[in-house]
Amino acid sequence: MVPRLTLDALNAATTAEFVAALEDLFEHTPWVPEAAAAQRPFATVAALHAALMRPVLALPPEGRKALLNRFPDLAGKAARGGTMGAASVSEHAGLGLDRLSEAEFATFERLNAAYRDRFGFPFMICVRRQTRDAVLAAFERRLRHDEATELAAALAELGFITRLRLVERVDGPGAPATAGRLSTHVLDTLRGRGAAGLRVELFEVGGSARARLAEAVTNAEGRTDAPLLGGAPLRVGRYELVFHLGAYYAAAGVALPRQPFLDEVPIRFGIDEPEGHYHVPLVASPWTYTTYRGS
């Protein structure tokens, strides 16, 4: 693991030390931090990231393509061969791209080849902000872009990738937002209070599978003690919250039919803002429920 640095230390470092500390953020491209070093001191981590991106965004199209070509194909042969940089290895592993079946690997190889043939650089997406289904959907959608539109999209994703890498590397004031939050709150309208002791499960709903991500029991206020997801970007994709309403009312001694009208209540929803706050409450009784995106 690369040791964390402070913004003050980077501001005081020699140019060589500054470059050595940050060049791997851009897949070992030293000229990027070298250009940023001349703009010191930086008051915030966000200002440092903006300075790192500034020379990249100033490149002509062919220069931008050359920089993007330093990054590996998504779930490509470099991932299988272990020749990627450490940050890319970790990011691929977080989405399970290092554990693809042969059929899944073939799908990514097909999309990678089609994308490179069309644009001349690898498909760029910040996988830490995406589910696997969302990555594949973005692949298909962005293959329909013209070159200028797609080059802009790739550089925007490069910004997300390097922003996350930088925030994990450098401590200091004014860090850019990189984490989202998913929370819930259950209101029991039968008894006019928060539903305490209600079990909640969170699932990611993919095209071929449904994976449980978290489980919690509501506290005295009908909330979970901690967000169901937090501390990292929320991955773009489809999700499901399952509220065990029947078991909650049975444990509370509420008279219910042998077969409760509402037992497990599933709420399916989408996440499209990785750094956003998604609050998905349930307002319920034994016979009805409603939900909405709260704050």
Containing H/E element for 244?
strand 237-244
pLDDT value of residue 92 = 66
The span from the first CA to the last CA of the chain, in angstroms, equals 36
Name the 3-class secondary structure at 59: coil
Single pTM value for the model: 0.88
Residue 94 contacts residue 43 (beta carbons within 8 Å): no
Rounded mean pLDDT for each run of 10 residues along the chain, 295 residues in total: 87 98 95 97 98 97 96 70 62 68 87 96 96 94 97 97 97 97 98 97 89 97 98 97 97 92 97 98 98 94
| CATH class name, domain 180-291 | mainly beta
- Per DSSP bridges, beta strands 210-217 and 229-232 are unpaired
**pLDDT for the residue numbered 235:** 96
- Give me 239's structure tokens: 């999700």
Count of CB atoms situated within 10 Å of the CB of 120 = 15
What is the location of CATH 1.10.3330.10 in the chain?
5-171
Rounded Cα distance between 262 and 160, Å, is 42
What is the number of alpha carbons within 13 Å of residue 289 lying toward its C-beta? 24
Pairing of strands 282-284, 289-291: antiparallel
What residue ranges of the chain are covered by domains with CATH 2.60.40.180? 180-291
Q: How far apart are CA 30 and CA 237, in angstroms?
A: 35
- Of 119, 171, 121, 172, the closest CA to residue 143 belongs to 119
How far CA 267 is from CA of 200, 247, 281, in Å, comes to 11, 17, 10
CATH of domain 5-171: 1.10.3330.10
Are 128 and 164 spatial neighbours (Cβ–Cβ below 8 Å)?
A: yes
* Bond before 41 cis per omega within 30 degrees: yes
Quick one: what percent of the chain has pLDDT higher than 90?
Answer: 83
At 74 the pLDDT is 86
Residue 103 pLDDT: 85
